[in-house]
Amino acid sequence: ALSRQEIHNDALLGVLAARLRENLHRLQPHHLVTACKAFAHLRYENEEFWTAAPQKILSFRTQLNPQQLQTVAWAFAVRGRPGTQLYLTIAHQAQALMPRFKPVHIAITVWSFGKQGYQQPALLTAAAAAMRANMDRFTTRNIANALWGFARLDWKDEALYKEAADRAAAILSDPEGRDAVQVVDAATGREAYRDSEGRLVHRWRDPGTGKVME
């Protein structure tokens, strides 16, 4: 509820994070996934929570559905949290469940691995195949997020990129299309600039909110 209203109250969030840590052994998958999503959305840092959560997630990894897998991947990517074992597990489970992934699940999962810089060829191969098989269901935002992730990981698949470009072109030619601007996300996802002090600042677009972050 707090994340939906974007209410930031560090004292309250600290109490909630502590209570969640104390009761990790009792949490069901959807409870912990929802907590990770909410804290990530609020950009809330709590070292103890973000350190403890992966082990619990790993313990019920086979119970996670496609939406929960992409949500966990997204949450840890948004917070920039290291988690090699967590992402290896997500990759394995996502690859196995890929036929059940909807376009948005494929797009955000690939985006998340790209954001973290985790190269998982088997997962990316499965995701590319699923994307190609379901291309007619991809929106421009889905296409942009997926291509951003593939590009960040330097994934070579010219056939996929051409099909994605053709799909985007078809959507953009549709007079009902209202989110044409999203198609440029893949091109701007790696954009960087130098601030007034000469520091290199990298920009990326959060696939959950569409906001440009730095």
Are 117 and 59 members of one domain?
no
Give residue 57's domain range: 1-63
* Bridge partners of residue 212, in order along the sequence: 205
Whether residue 58 is found in the same domain as residue 85: no
Q: Which residues are bridge partners to 202 per DSSP?
A: 192
* Whether residue 89 is found in the same domain as residue 163: yes
Final residue in a domain of this structure, among 18, 41, 63: 63
Instruction: Indicate if 162 and 105 belong to the same structural domain.
Output: yes
Confidence of residue 214 (pLDDT cuts 50, 70, 90): very low
- In the block, tokens 């601007």 appear at 181
Q: What pLDDT is attached to residue 206? A: 60
Tens of pLDDT, residue by residue over 154-178, are 999 999 999 999 998 888 765 555 4
Q: Is 5 exposed, middle or buried (0-12, 13-18, 19+ CB in 10 A)?
A: exposed
Rounded to 5°, angle at Cα 111 from 107 and 116: 155
How far apart are alpha carbons 81 and 75 in whole angstroms?
9
Could you tell me if 23 and 69 lie in one domain?
no
pLDDT band at 5 (very low <50, low <70, confident <90, very high): very low
CA distance 38 to 35: 5
State pLDDT tens for residues 38-65. Answer: 888 888 787 888 888 888 899 989 999 9
CA distances from 102 to 46, 99, 108, 186 (A): 31, 8, 10, 19
Distance, in Å, from the CA atom of 49 to the CA atom of 51, rounded to the nearest integer, reads: 5
Tokens of 163: 């099909």
Residue 2 pLDDT class (50, 70, 90 cuts): very low
* Count of other CB atoms within 10 angstroms of residue 26: 8
Residues 76 and 167 in one domain: yes
68 and 58, same domain (yes or no)? no
Query: Using the 8-state DSSP alphabet, how is residue 98 labeled?
Result: G
Alpha carbons 132 and 184: distance in angstroms, whole number: 19
- When divided into structural domains, the chain yields a total of 2
